[in-house]
């Protein structure tokens, strides 16, 4: 499938994109999603990040990493939400996940914790332990404790 920038832009243009349908654009959409995540307004960049997380290709992690570094918290929240969709690719994203868990914005930290609720890798366990003990927000400390208690930690 030869996916154009216009195809990708149209897929994420609606206020509520049909992400399941848009993910059918496949891996050819990832370079375009990368470009949108890097250079677009926060709303489009956040949609691009989330859509990338649904595409089963290792390059999707790069799009999320880009989104996780944006100044706008909305985009970083989308990157954190996308972590839940990475499955086995999550191991490639350990550094990004640790950054999201340590983000200055409480909403970003909360969404990253929610995305890790079922399973997490041993690589982020120290960050979760630090959040559990030291985060200034009590709800984040509780959520980190829950994630540590519920997660099946994969070595």
CB 32 within 8 Å of CB 5: yes
Whole-number pLDDT of residue 122: 79
Distance CA 17, CA 51 (A): 9
Tell me what the pLDDT averaged over the chain comes to.
Answer: 91
Q: Is the model's pLDDT at 154 over the cut of 60?
A: no
Q: Is the model's pLDDT at 24 over the cut of 90?
A: yes
Q: Residue 155's pLDDT band (boundaries 50, 70, 90)?
A: very low
Q: Is the model's pLDDT at 1 over the cut of 50?
A: yes
Q: Residue 151's pLDDT band (boundaries 50, 70, 90)?
A: low
What lies within 8 Å, CB to CB, of 135 at 6+ separation is 109, 141, 144
Half-sphere exposure of 76 (CA within 13 A, CB side): 22
Whole-number pLDDT of residue 88: 83
Distance CA 82, CA 23 (A): 13
């Amino acid at each position: 499938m030869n996916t154009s920038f216009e195809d990708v832009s149209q897929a994420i243009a609606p206020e509520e994109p049909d992400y399941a349908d848009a993910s059918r654009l496949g891996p050819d959409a990832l370079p375009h999603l990368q470009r949108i995540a890097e250079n677009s307004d926060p709303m489009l960049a956040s949609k691009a990040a989330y859509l990338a997380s649904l595409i089963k290709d290792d390059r999707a992690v790069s799009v999320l990493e880009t989104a996780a570094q944006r100044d706008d918290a909305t985009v970083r929240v989308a990157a954190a939400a996308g972590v839940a969709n990475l499955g086995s690719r999550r191991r490639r994203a350990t550094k990004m996940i640790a950054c999201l868990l340590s983000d200055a914005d409480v909403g970003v930290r909360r969404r990253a914790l929610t995305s890790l609720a079922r399973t997490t890798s041993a690589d982020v366990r120290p960050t979760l332990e630090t959040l559990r003990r030291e985060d200034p927000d009590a709800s984040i400390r509780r959520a980190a404790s829950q994630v540590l208690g519920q997660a099946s930690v994969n070595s």
